[in-house]
Amino acid sequence: MRIILCGFGVVGQSLVKLFASRSDELYSKYAVKPRVVGVFDSKGSAVDQSGLKLDKLIKVKKRFGTVKNYAVKNNSMSGIEMLKNLEADVLIETTASNYKDAEPGMTHITTAMKNGMHVISVNKGPLALAFPSLLELATYNQVMFKFSGTVGGGTPILDYAKNSLSGERITSFAGILNGTTNYILTNMASGLSFDSALKDAQDKGYVEADESLDLDGLDAAAKLVILANWIMGMKVTLPDIDCTGIRKVTSKEIRSASKKNCAIKLIASCDKKLVVGPKEISNDDPLCVNGTLNAIAFTSEHSGTQTIIGKGAGGMETASSILRDLLDIRQEIARD
């Protein structure tokens, strides 16, 4: 499978390492031989239609901070130019999420689809702002659109709700969808102030470069949009979410909740309304997880409530979700 990789940060590099370390198994077990023909980062690109050397890509990125030094002649081909000029089967979109206009990910995805490429995205911006139209565009161009890494990282939340609960009618769901805010609130419950808990999370690299994505609930809201569309069949975008972050949660409120055997968590919920906001939940509730964990509880008509818990993010965890999507695409192509 010929692959164009847009974005070569932590997730992109983790994916290439995964391809390199599991190449024999992928071929023998799944008949998949990933051939990365183009990689684009913020400073340049590397292109080879016969397939880039994965180990060399990692070394070049580590040494120069960009892949453009991969070849003797520096390559300045943009992601759009790669998508228009290279022959490829799949675009893997890993650039940073942008909730204002979803660029450059939106143009990468739509260009790939219009050129007949299947798309795997872990970039939440385009899905948060235009999920219904992207699905329509994929259908119109007869390509597959996969995005399991956008919610829950390596934890298969979307697959679980869509496939393991198929035949059931999910009536509502609620969950902790942002590990950073969960880590901050957990530390506040242990006695740290908001500022100290935030600094600790920043020091550990948990907080986005634009901290408002975490603290103001935008990341959780984007994931709620994806879940509501994919699982509940809604047609909603980011402006449809009633969203409140954690900046105004006080230590006094945390202590008050603790006296009632509760904890304050940033909960994203889909019931009659789509809401993200701080909420008291019982310490005995399976949803009440600590640290950077994510948890989501699906309530269905006949099976009751089931909770899935796992790591919400991380380079290798998210890369594993991309590989899962790639194998799904390969299997569907083989069936067709």
Helices (H), 45-154: 54-64, 79-85, 105-114, 124-140
| Closest by Cα among 77, 105, 81, 99 to 11 | 105
DSSP of 165-232: TTTS-EEEEEEE--HHHHHHHHHHHTT--HHHHHHHHHHTT-S-SSTHHHHTSHHHHHHHHHHHHHHH
Q: What tokens does 285 get? A: 């509730």
Rg (alpha carbons) of the chain, rounded to whole number: 20
Q: Which of 68, 124, 223, 265 is catalytic?
A: 223
* Residue 223 annotated as catalytic: yes
CA distances from 90 to 37, 255, 276, 289, 315 (A): 10, 50, 33, 36, 20
* Residues labelled catalytic: 223
